[in-house]
Amino acid sequence: MLDHVLIGQVQRRVETSGLPLAITLWNGDTVGVPAERADVRIHLHRKSSLKALAHPSLGALARAYVQGALDLDGDIRDILTLGNRLCQADDCKPDTGTAGWKWWRHTRSRDRRNIQYHYDVSNDFYGLWLDAERIYSCAYFRDPGMTLEAAQRAKLDHICRKLALQPGERLLDIGCGWGGLVLHAARHYGVHAVGITLSDDQHAHASARVRELGLEGQVEVRRMDYRDVPEVGTYDKIASVGMFEHVGRGHLADYFRKIHDLLKPGGLVLNHGITAAALKTQGLGGGISEFVDDYVFPGGELVHVSEVLETATIGGLECLDAENLRPHYATTLWHWVTRLEAQAARAIELIGEEKYRIWRIYMAGSAHAFERGWLELWQVLAGKAVDGRQPSYPYNRGYMHVDA
């Protein structure tokens, strides 16, 4: 009887929405428009997932898809668009509930486990859909028609130019990934670079790349927590790209204090990371944040850029410039999704069906969120003063521009 009621609710929801959606139930019955007229086709394999369609949220639909309870056929952009319209109008409004409970999760051992959960999947898997340098962060599309490879190189130059890197300077890259930035900065800007990561796979790959390029005397890659970097006051410049989302709201001031302590007086830091679009938010609603926490980035927390500026100031740094690259990340993510889907068979061979589904729906959902303005990507440039002055203060924004 309950199944009958839920099926009726699904049918009414689809009919009321007017969406070009076809749903095939586990028993072969269909709901919605005929399959040949549908932009998106949902195949429901389990009765238990009826509720996810009768009272849908993007988080619940993503869980059902990852668990194999339903299949989603169609262009992934159409799937996200129709899924959003099928859900309640307020499904993705930010969650503004209490936030203090996550503070205890960011111990050194837990943070290392969380990072390894996401990044130590398979170097070969990431190599399927990232660019050749395996840069796993927002690219910089000076021209929207740029290739992903060109846009990632442009992003590395964008960061290096903002930091005003000079030959012989010491650069620290917090969360160096597979080594793209430290290698680029050493080869093209002449710096001595140290990259740190908590990922075993990233550390092994980046270290091998250092040896392949003959940069052992110029680039060092460490498997290390940022809190344990010992060289106080010795770095001219610091970059943190796609890492601070793992720090935790309650630890952000300490994170920036640590950066302040590691910088030489007059040094600069470029913090590049995802932020929430709404003030005082705990993440996206509709179960999306919980899905990401459970399946993708355990322990991750997003804050508004105003909290980044505030906690950087509390940490002793002066914010000098801020740039929102939100549309650039949407474009980057769609490139990744397209590449991943093109390599679906090999990806499933490497990491299994469930993890492939996790990455596909997570990255497509993230692209959708950046397009709709639910998430943002901010680069914040800050400096450590010398007797109250900023010797590296950029008097204009010419450093951001380069001839095409």
Residue entry with tokens 């290096």:
160
pLDDT digit string, tens, across residues 356-403: 999 999 899 899 989 999 899 999 999 999 988 998 888 888 887 765
40-44 and 170-174: which strand pairing?
unpaired
Three-state SS for the chain is CHHHHHHHHHHHHHHHHCCCEEEECCCCCEEECCHHHCCEEEEECCHHHHHHHHCCCHHHHHHHHHCCCEEEECCHHHHHHHHHHHCCCCCCCECCCCCHHHHHHCCHHHHHHHHHHHHCCCHHHHHHHCCCCCCCCCCCCCCCCCCHHHHHHHHHHHHHHHCCCCCCCEEEEECCCCCHHHHHHHHHHCCEEEEEECCHHHHHHHHHHHHHCCCCCCEEEEECCHHHCCCCCCEEEEEEECCHHHCCHHHHHHHHHHHHHHEEEEEEEEEEEEEECCCCCCCECCCHHHHHHHHCCCCCCCCEHHHHHHHHHHCCCEEEEEEECHHHHHHHHHHHHHHHHHCHHHHHHHHCHHHHHHHHHHHHHHHHHHHHCCEEEEEEEEECCECCECCCCCCCCHHHCCCC
pLDDT band at 85 (very low <50, low <70, confident <90, very high): confident
**Is the pLDDT score of 90 beyond 60?**
no
Least reliable range by pLDDT among 7-11, 125-129, 325-329:
7-11
C-alpha 42 chain-centroid distance: 27
pLDDT tops 70 at residue 110: no
Mean pLDDT of all residues in 88-115:
51
**Percent of the chain residues past pLDDT 70, beyond the cut:** 88
Please write the tens of the pLDDT for every residue from 168-217. Answer: 999 999 999 999 999 999 999 999 999 999 999 999 999 999 999 999 99
Q: Per residue in 25-64, is it b (16+ CB within 10 Å) or e — as a string? A: bbeeeebbbeeeebbbbbebeeeebbebbbebbbbbbbbb
Instruction: Pick the most confident of 73-77, 245-249, 344-348.
Output: 344-348
Residue range 78-94: mean pLDDT, rounded: 70
At 331 the pLDDT is 97
Q: From CA 185, how far away is CA 69, in angstroms rounded?
A: 46
pLDDT digits (tens, 9 = 90+) for 373-383: 989 999 999 99
Closest to 11 (Cα-Cα) out of 28, 36, 33, 26: 33
**Per-residue model confidence as pLDDT tens digits over 221-260:** 999 999 999 999 999 999 999 999 889 888 999 999 999 9
Distance CA 355, CA 125 (A): 11
Judged against a pLDDT cut of 90, whether residue 102 lies above it is answered with no
Domains and CATH numbers, the chain: 2-86 (3.30.1050), 100-400 (3.40.50.150)
The mean of the pLDDT values for the chain is 87
Write down the pLDDT at residue 404: 45
pLDDT at 99: 44
User: If you average pLDDT over residues 26-52, what whole number do you get?
Assistant: 86
